[in-house]
Amino acid sequence: MFNFSDTKKQNVVGFSIVPGIGLEAVILDKARGVVTSYGRKKVDYNFSQRNIQNYGQFKNALIELINEMKIPPKSYAYLVLPNVFFDFIEVTSDTSDSGIETALTSTSEEFYIFKKEEPVLGWCDVANPMGTSQRRLAYSAFQKSDIDEIKEIFAGAGLQLAGIETAYSSILRGLNLTGLIKDAILMNSSWSALLINTNSYTLFQMEGKNLLDCNEVPLAIKSFSTEEAYQAIVSNASQLLSSSTTSQLYIISQTDDISAEALKKLMQFDREIIAIDSNKYSKKSLLEVSAALDFNEANSMSLSVLGAADSKSDLDLNLNILNNDPNASMGVYFTTNIMGTPTEVTQALVQQASIALCVLGGILFGAIIGVVMFLNTAQETQLSDLNKENSKIEAQIKALEKVEIKEEEIDMTDVIDEVANDNVTAINFYDSISTDIPKNVWLTKYYNKSGTQLAIRGVAESIIDIYEYYKNLRIVSPQSDIKLTELKVITNPNGEEADQDVSKFIHSLAIDKDVDRLYSFVISNTSFMVQDVKGVGYDESDILARPAAPPIEEPIEQPSQQMRPTRR
């Protein structure tokens, strides 16, 4: 009666905001693997506030794309936004959705954006690399006021907004759509993707179709020279990759400042590297495109907009924050043959069928009730016998309740050993201050809470010295999750300081101000650094690692607000 082999899913228009590109829109013929329609319009993005700069500009761009691409009214749309917040969390297997939402909201509110703005969350299960029985979730969050504004604009434009998602998960789905990772998924091998954006770069570590880890490193590329920007990415990414079993690396550049092909040649990686440019360096489109499209635009089409148009991918990674919004549901959207007649199965048809099934179910239920009443008399005798047996069992339970409880003895030696072991990490980090600092590195700020929350600020003459110190810290405490969370040039080649607050410190160093360059850095694993380093509720220490450098009265610079480092 139903020939589901002839089903055809309704197209979903994928939209994506990509800094440097603007608002993209794409429609796919997924069966043929062809982009049938594509367009883009300029839309500015505010990196500091992590939202669309001008919603009036966004609304006009959306309406222009709808008209130019002839998108029908009430079409389903799926929007991808630049990442605002992304992290992992583990919960028990029996945790309810409401319990998960409460835990994720509490954690995301520690990020500076959500200290004054309510978050809206999306999450999904991912593989647990530790192999524990707990559920491991990847989740993202956006500002509620921005999401409400976007939903209102799409409704006013006559489109049904079916999803809003972070670019991180959408880019991985887009990469899957291109077929470039087909072999890695089939063989369930380890692979990595290095995503380069205007203000950061992110390394995804995958096993087959499972996301294992994600590390974002803030990097204001435009504040560096071209050579320095490439070197900073190569140095840190190579170090992250050195400890992995990655067999393939995909370099994806979404900024005109970095060429994926050029970066590929500089990477210190002895396995296969695939370069993907979604920028001015791109030479061909990621998928086959219709002959009527502008090939110059199609060549720089982003992976995130492809992932938006393929939100129901076989790569099961979807962080749609509208999953629980009934107004955003796409319902059932396919056509099928019913007794040889092509029939569109819509949400209304499903509702009508449900009503008919309810009526039929009511009739059957009435018949069942009649049978039950007929059998009720025979069952009353059995029920009486069961009640008597139950009384006997209750009497036995009361007799067993009188159990003597012995007072538990506490071994103080075990308690003392446990406290000492818990402080090993903190002691190791304190030892590192005097024993593992490279020659050309000066520490100016140190924060350590309970040996688990660490923040170190310092100055160095080269990036290599910074990474040498970072490596020493990891050797001292290999189980820690510290990251290099900030790297910034603080003097210009002509010797003028970029930050007057550090002039006293810089002038005391025996360096040539005309040619030498200093770098400030932060190594940390805590999202509380903005408040903690200023001493709100916690101890902090100014450090003078070298006699040649005078003490600093204030922190060198305000900590970067680019991104809270993800936990590994």
Looking at the predicted structure, is the pLDDT value of residue 456 above 60? yes
Looking at the predicted structure, is the pLDDT value of residue 260 above 60? yes
List all residues 6 or more positions away from 11 whose beta carbon is below 8 Å from its beta carbon: 27, 28, 29, 75, 309
Per-residue pLDDT at 1: 38
**Higher-scoring residue by pLDDT: 515, 141:** 141
Least confident of 297-306, 362-371, 436-445: 362-371
Looking at the predicted structure, is the pLDDT value of residue 503 above 60? no
Highest-scoring range by mean pLDDT, 166-180, 440-454, 490-504, 518-532: 166-180
Task: Please give the average per-residue pLDDT across 340-348, as a whole number.
Answer: 50
Tokens, residue 6 = 């002839």
Looking at the predicted structure, is the pLDDT value of residue 413 above 80? no
The 10s digit of each residue's pLDDT in 152-208 is 999 999 999 999 999 999 999 999 999 999 999 999 999 999 999 888 889 999 999
Confidence of residue 445 (pLDDT cuts 50, 70, 90): confident
Query: Which class is domain 2-183+281-336?
Result: alpha beta
Q: What is the CA radius of gyration of the chain?
A: 30
How far apart CA 105 and CA 101 sit, in angstroms, is 6
Per-residue pLDDT at 330: 53
Per-residue pLDDT at 516: 67
Residue 48's CB: how many other CB atoms inside 10 A?
A: 9
Task: Please give the average per-residue pLDDT across 468-480, as a whole number.
Answer: 80
Per-residue pLDDT at 412: 65
Q: Are 238 and 269 contacting, i.e. CB atoms less than 8 angstroms apart?
A: yes
Per-residue pLDDT at 403: 52
Q: What is the residue extent of each domain of the chain?
A: 2-183+281-336, 353-383, 416-532
How far apart CA 188 and CA 248 sit, in angstroms, is 12
Distance of CA 97 to the CA centre of its chain: 19
Looking at the predicted structure, is the pLDDT value of residue 551 above 90? no
**Higher-scoring residue by pLDDT: 123, 10:** 123
List all residues 6 or more positions away from 543 whose beta carbon is below 8 Å from its beta carbon: 433, 443, 444, 445, 446
Helix H or strand E encompassing 78: strand 76-81
User: The whole model's pTM is what?
Assistant: 0.58
Least confident of 231-240, 260-269, 350-359, 552-561: 552-561
How far apart CA 106 and CA 111 sit, in angstroms, is 10
Highest-scoring range by mean pLDDT, 184-193, 388-397, 449-458, 516-525: 184-193
**Higher-scoring residue by pLDDT: 75, 506:** 75
Residue 296's alpha-carbon distances to 41, 88, 171, 252, 281, in angstroms, are 14, 38, 21, 18, 11
User: Any idea of the CA torsion for 328, 88, 208, 176, to the nearest 10 degrees?
Assistant: 40
Alpha helix ranges (H) inside 290-346: 295-299, 303-309
pLDDT above 90 covers what percent of the chain?
Answer: 33
Looking at the predicted structure, is the pLDDT value of residue 548 above 70? no
Per-residue pLDDT at 358: 67
If 0-12 CB within 10 Å is exposed, 13-18 middle and 19+ buried, where does residue 137 land?
A: buried
Q: What is the DSSP letter of 96?
A: -
Confidence of residue 361 (pLDDT cuts 50, 70, 90): confident
The 10s digit of each residue's pLDDT in 266-301 is 988 888 999 999 888 988 888 888 888 887 788 888
Residue 236's CB: how many other CB atoms inside 10 A?
A: 22
Query: Considering all CA atoms of the chain, what is the largest pairwise distance in Å, rounded to the nearest integer?
Result: 103
Tokens, residue 536 = 């709100």
**Higher-scoring residue by pLDDT: 494, 177:** 177
Distance of CA 399 to the CA centre of its chain: 56
**Higher-scoring residue by pLDDT: 290, 377:** 290
- Mean residue pLDDT of the chain comes to 78
